[in-house]
Structure 1
Amino acid sequence: MFQKIPQISIVDSNTLAAIGLKGILQSIIPMMSVEIFSSTEELMNAQPDKFYHYFVSSEMIGQNKDFYLKNIRKTILLTKSTTDIDKQYTGFHYLYIDKKEKELLKSLLWLEQMAHSEGRHLPPTHFTKHKQILSDREAEVMSLIVKGMINKEIADKLHIGLSTVITHRRNIMEKLHVKSVSALTIYAVINGYVNINDI
């Protein structure tokens, strides 16, 4: 019998922020379905036990502390600063959301790697390794891009021409259907091309 697609919920009254987080989460954990709720009441009416994680604004946790304390292992507090993490939130996993894109992405990748690397804690029928799409040289170039190197540095390191690096870069983006270094970073970490400590 096949299990249903694993689900994550985002509980935040800021719809724009929730939509952005949903897009990132679906990139990082593509085998998961993500639902957005603007209140804890909406979440509770949607069978909350079916969700693997709740990504919840500090405002929502403050208003419904008892519910989230009962589900503390699956709740991830979305916070803008360290001042939000005081005694009332002790024990919650948290994610600082008020940071630069690269740092936020790295934090989310850390969460994914700690909880679900290689499909850990997910139904096995829904985790599939990506086929090798890139050539060995393209994988090398991708790894260096994700580590923050510019085209000239990559060319020098790999002893290839600058135009060759540019061609590899274009081919990588086309093959993976990505348009940004952030999306490339997600792919590289999730598929084991780059260690999260190197980005």
Structure 2
Amino acid sequence: MERPKIAIIDPNTLATIGLKQLLQTVLPIMTVDVFGSMTEFEANHPEEYFHYFVATNIVLSNRQFFTAHRHKTIVLTLSLEGGSQLSEFHSICINMPEQELVRSLLHLQQHAHPHGKNLPPMPKALQQKVLSDREIEVMALIVQGYINKEIADKLNIGLSTVITHRKNIMDKLGMKSVSALTIYAVMHGYVDINKI
């Protein structure tokens, strides 16, 4: 079965590269394609896409198309204020720190697809339990914003043990940032999104 697809339609190349990376981390079962213009997007079978992440100016200049596909459209805004002209669409502000953007994407995903509703199942490799119970405890505290010393105190373990667990978690999951770890923890149900 072909993986479901998400389209990003935005002429800002740097922004789309970052958003594509985040979306592939939040939804690893999806293929993410990037288009710099509406013309390019329309030439590539837009009906095949599960969701459209679209720059505000492109939505405004192609309002009829996106209104007809409102349930698939997520407008990329630079501010959450003054968006009343696009209030009929789901929006996400891309002008925020990475951790907040990750949280917004996770909220959007959980609102639209609670418990994986309307999404294909995760591949078996992504469903397997990779971490030990203690590593899961440490990971949960990391993504909730606790520093190593606080984690050591909470779990009644040594600081060097926390550092070792932290390194092992990142190595086992192949992750390099707390944002990626946060996505993993929330998507696998180890941490409630409201606690991050």
TM-score after normalising by structure 1: 0.94
Identity of aligned residues (%): 53
1:149-191 superposed Cα distances (whole Å, 9 cap, x missing partner) = 0000000000001111111111111111101111110110011
Match of 2:80 in 1: 82
Identify which of 11, 14, 31 aligns with 1:13. Answer: 11
Shift of the 84–46 alpha-carbon distance from structure 1 to 2, 3 Å rule, reads farther
Is the CA contact (8 Å cut-off) linking 1:11 and 1:56 kept in structure 2? yes
| 1:196 Cα deviation after fit | 0.3
* Greater than 4 Å deviation, 4+ residue runs: 126-129
For the residues of structure 1 that align with 2:82 and 2:193, how far apart are their CA atoms? 26
Deviation of 1:127 after TM superposition, in Å, equals 5.1
List runs of 5+ in structure 1 lacking aligned partners: none
Q: Does 1:194 align with 2:191?
A: yes
Query: How far is 1:84 from its partner?
Result: 4.4
1:106 aligns with 2:130: no
Match of 2:36 among 35, 38, 62: 38
TM-fit CA distance, 1:100: 1.2
Q: Aligned runs of 1:166-185 on 2, under 5 Å?
A: 166-185=163-182
Alignment-derived partner of residue 54 in structure 1: 52
Does structure 1 conserve the Cα–Cα contact (< 8 Å) formed by 2:7 and 2:34? yes
Contact 1:58 1:84 (C-alpha < 8 Å) held by counterparts: no
Alpha-carbon separation, structure 2, partners of 1:60 and 1:151: 44
> Deviations along 1:58-82, whole A, 9 cap, x unmatched?
0101111111111011000000113
- RMSD (Å), alpha carbons: 1.3
Name stretches of at least 5 consecutive residues in structure 2 with no aligned partner: none
CA distance in 2, matches of 1:75, 1:97: 15
Whichever residue aligns with residue 76 of structure 1, its letter is I
Letter in 2 for 1:105: V
- The one-letter amino acid of 1:145's match is I
Aligned to 2:137: 140
- Give TM-score, length-normalised by structure 2: 0.95
> Match of 2:116?
119
1:158 matched to 2:146? no
The aligned length equals 195
**Is the CA contact 2:29–2:120 (under 8 Å) kept in the aligned structure 1?**
no
- Give the Cα–Cα distance (whole angstroms) in 2 for the partners of residues 19 and 196 of structure 1: 25
